[in-house]
A and B are shown apart, each in its own frame.
Chain A
Amino acid sequence: MIMENNTSMRHILSLLLENESGALSRVAGLFSARGYNIESLTVAPTEDPTLSRMTIVTSGSQEVIEQITKQVNKLIDVVKVFDLNEGRYIERELMLVKVRAEGSEREELKRTADIFRGRVIDVTDRTYTIELTGPRDKLDAFLEAIDRSQILETVRTGASGIGRGEWILRV
């Protein structure tokens, strides 16, 4: 049988799919119907407007990931699927975080944002809105670095991924 004893690992799947209505729900529906995890899912059209690029962050044993890849590949709207973990890759996520920033907090927050190469993109006399880009753990680390009670709102896009070097996923 398929032994589930090997550990569950985080994988990033890159998909090229037809930019057609319903394509997203086919992928999302497959994950829920078969009980696969989705940590995040992002999708947008590519330079070729007939194609969309999707990045799905999921987790599972090697066997589960293999089955997910096969099932996704089977969807008629999916042109290509690649598990980025099979090679070297870059992962980025965008986070917008609105924090309470009053008095002495303002200076401290600005400094922390600078350390994480974040930018303050909106200001009121009581709040900062900070933009931060990076891999997931960097964004997590920023949220841990500031006082939790200061966080008013966070918006994260979920990861986008791309292979390193000259490796290219295209039709």
Chain B
Amino acid sequence: MRLSGAEITIQCLQEEGVEFVFGYPGGAVLYIYDALFSQDKVRHILVRHEQAALHAADAYARASGRCGVALVTSGPGVTNAVTGIATAYMDSIPMVIISGQVPTPAIGLDAFQEVDTVGITRPCVKHNFLVKNVDDLAVTIKKAFYVAMSGRPGPVLVDIPKDVSQHMAEFSYPKSVTMRSYNPVTKGHSGQIKKAVQMLLEAKRPMIYAGGGVILGNGSEQLTRLVKRLGYPCTNTLMGLGAYPATDPQFVGMLGMHGTYEANLAMQNCDVLLAIGARFDDRVIGNPEHFCSQERRIVHVDIDPSSISKRVRVDVPIVGNIVDVLDEMQKHLDASEVKPDAVALKDWWKQIDAWRARDCLKYDRNSPIIKPQYVVEKLYEVTHGDAIITSDVGQHQMWAAQYYKFDKPRRWLNSGGLGTMGFGLPAAMGAQMAFPDATVACVTGEASIQMCIQELSTCKQYHLPVKIVNLNNRYLGMVRQWQQILHGNRYSESYMDALPDFVKLAESYGHVGFKIENPADVEPILREAFALKDRVVFMDFITDQTENVFPMVKAGKGLSEMLLGSEDL
């Protein structure tokens, strides 16, 4: 079958079972858009800015576990997409990005809308390709999906010059593809797994620390079984929330810079640590020197060998697929006659419960001004803990992570690695596309939401009834908090004047808007909003401007050196 490069591109997406392509047309991709037009298997979602296309495709992947697909034109199409590509790269999200390029004879001649796409995106993709010959197109797209989805996932970009999308070639889609330079490890080393289990059983003060890798590797069930069986405490990273059920008593909360008192102290004081799909990053362990000043043995399971012993040296490295490794651990536990040390474990839990009794997430519930934490708590109640929650970046993100209890994976979608403001609203769209019947809410702030506010229009066009929970404190809250704590209350450029009337703004896009200023109205409005199942509702909560996120580990400090409240400032 002879097809044009553009038709081949769309055929490949069909063969991969792609449901949605998030994109924005332009000169270099006109043939590809033409090929999209004459078929109805792959549905295109027209966003209002390429960054949003990437975030929506990314969140579609995060929520569904499938590969996200975005389509952008050359030049500014690509540069606008870069933030979204880097966001996905930092969080290891599988995505294929198709970008248009100027025709091959024009490459390098500073043509209209030309940029060196492969060069610009190189540091923030798992891999990228420039297809110079239409005969290579199908196999390159096959490789792109394979690389994006296998091993440690990540975004892969395929740059297609306009003439390549126009040229004809014989089309056949390869069933599978092998690459001599790319063979991701899947099975963990049996000897190491056995050693790890022995070490875990010898623990007096064990701790299990699970990150986003557990969610990406679909290992929540295995993790939960292992933690339950051992009776050990478990913490999740910001990226790992939902990997272990938050309402379970063995869950000690999120750890890290804004982690709970009990999670951080258990992490610091444990004698055996099992790290799974996590990478000991600066927001999780704080100062590595301080972290390592306490002696403990560490088992680290990850699919990416370069994540192991990068910031913290570990004793038992296990490179492999999380599901397989955890299953094998279970088998060793079945076979082992040694049981966890019940006496030591009881003492350890007594200690942890004492830390927990500090109730580090308490806040003033009698405030006459709306507390942001209260809004998230009520959001949790009203949605029965069953919504997909997206967030932007800042204080609201931390409050959502602390107060919404995620019992299932793929329900909490946020930009943990890159920390991209503007992620929340397009992410909510992507999640809603993946699950049209799910309740999807975007917890955001008045600053973040304005970075991709134009997507309210996309929500209207595609009837995506996402709910926006805007925690409006008129400040770049997290910046203000750091300025208060670390920069002598000098609030340099963190106050936002001249905010729009969000209610009218929502209405102008054809949505419903509410402004909420009284704590007593929080719950009724949330109920009213979520009852409007087929509408986008923008809830503008006017919250306490001075509220800070606690606990807090200041940058460069150790995990146990937490500020627990304003009394610690």
Within 8 A of B (CB), among A1-59: 1-3, 17-18, 21-22, 25-26, 29, 33
Whether B309 pairs with A2 at a CB distance below 8 angstroms is: yes
Whether A99 sits at the interface, judged by CB under 8 Å, is no
Tell me the count of chain B residues lying within 8 A, CB to CB, of chain A. Answer: 24
Whether A2 pairs with B122 at a CB distance below 8 angstroms is: no
- Tell me the complex Cα distance, A45–B135, Å: 24
- Tell me the complex Cα distance, A66–B180, Å: 22
Within 8 A of B (CB), among A66-90: 66-67, 70-71, 73-74, 76-79
Binds A, one of B42-50, B75-83, B91-99, B288-296: B288-296
Whether A25 pairs with B119 at a CB distance below 8 angstroms is: yes
Whether A77 pairs with B181 at a CB distance below 8 angstroms is: yes
Whether A171 pairs with B309 at a CB distance below 8 angstroms is: no
- Tell me the complex Cα distance, A106–B304, Å: 59
Question: Shortest Cβ distance from B461 into chain A, in angstroms?
Answer: 37
Whether A63 sits at the interface, judged by CB under 8 Å, is yes
- Tell me the complex Cα distance, A67–B317, Å: 14
- Tell me the complex Cα distance, A171–B182, Å: 12
Question: Shortest Cβ distance from B123 into chain A, in angstroms?
Answer: 5
Whether A2 pairs with B310 at a CB distance below 8 angstroms is: yes
Select which of B130, B181, B182, B288 is within 8 A of A1 by beta carbon.
B288
Whether B306 sits at the interface, judged by CB under 8 Å, is yes
Whether B181 pairs with A2 at a CB distance below 8 angstroms is: no
Select which of B130, B181, B312 is within 8 A of A76 by beta carbon.
B181
Given A1-B292, A1-B312, A29-B123, residue A76 in contact with residue B147 (CB < 8 A): yes
Select which of B179, B288, B306 is within 8 A of A74 by beta carbon.
B306
Whether A25 pairs with B311 at a CB distance below 8 angstroms is: no
| Binary contact readout B51-92 vs A (1 if CB under 8 angstroms, 0 otherwise) | 000000000000000000000000000000000000000000
Whether A76 pairs with B179 at a CB distance below 8 angstroms is: yes
Whether B123 pairs with A76 at a CB distance below 8 angstroms is: no
Whether B305 sits at the interface, judged by CB under 8 Å, is yes
Whether B504 sits at the interface, judged by CB under 8 Å, is no
Give chain A's interface residue range (CB within 8 Å of chain B).
20 to 34
Whether B345 sits at the interface, judged by CB under 8 Å, is no
Determine the chain B residues whose CB is within 8 A of the CB of A73 once the complex forms: 305-306
Whether B127 sits at the interface, judged by CB under 8 Å, is yes
- Tell me the complex Cα distance, A1–B314, Å: 9
- Tell me the complex Cα distance, A90–B309, Å: 30
Given A22-B118, A33-B123, A67-B306, residue A76 in contact with residue B182 (CB < 8 A): yes
Whether A1 pairs with B122 at a CB distance below 8 angstroms is: no
Question: Shortest Cβ distance from A27 into chain B, in angstroms?
Answer: 11
Determine the chain A residues whose CB is within 8 A of the CB of B182 once the complex forms: 76
B280 to A, closest residue via Cβ: A1
Interface-central residue, B127, B180, B289, B304, by most chain A CB under 10 Å: B180
| Binary contact readout B220-250 vs A (1 if CB under 8 angstroms, 0 otherwise) | 0000000000000000000000000000000
Select which of B119, B127, B180, B310 is within 8 A of A171 by beta carbon.
B180
Question: Shortest Cβ distance from B167 into chain A, in angstroms?
Answer: 19
| Binary contact readout B307-351 vs A (1 if CB under 8 angstroms, 0 otherwise) | 001111100000000000000000000000000000000000000
Whether B181 pairs with A66 at a CB distance below 8 angstroms is: no
Task: Please give 7 more A-B residue pairs, beta carbons under 8 A apart, in addition to A25-B119, A70-B305, A77-B181.
Answer: A1-B289, A2-B312, A3-B313, A26-B122, A71-B306, A73-B306, A79-B181
5 A-B pairs with CB atoms under 8 Å apart are A18-B181, A25-B122, A66-B309, A73-B306, A171-B180
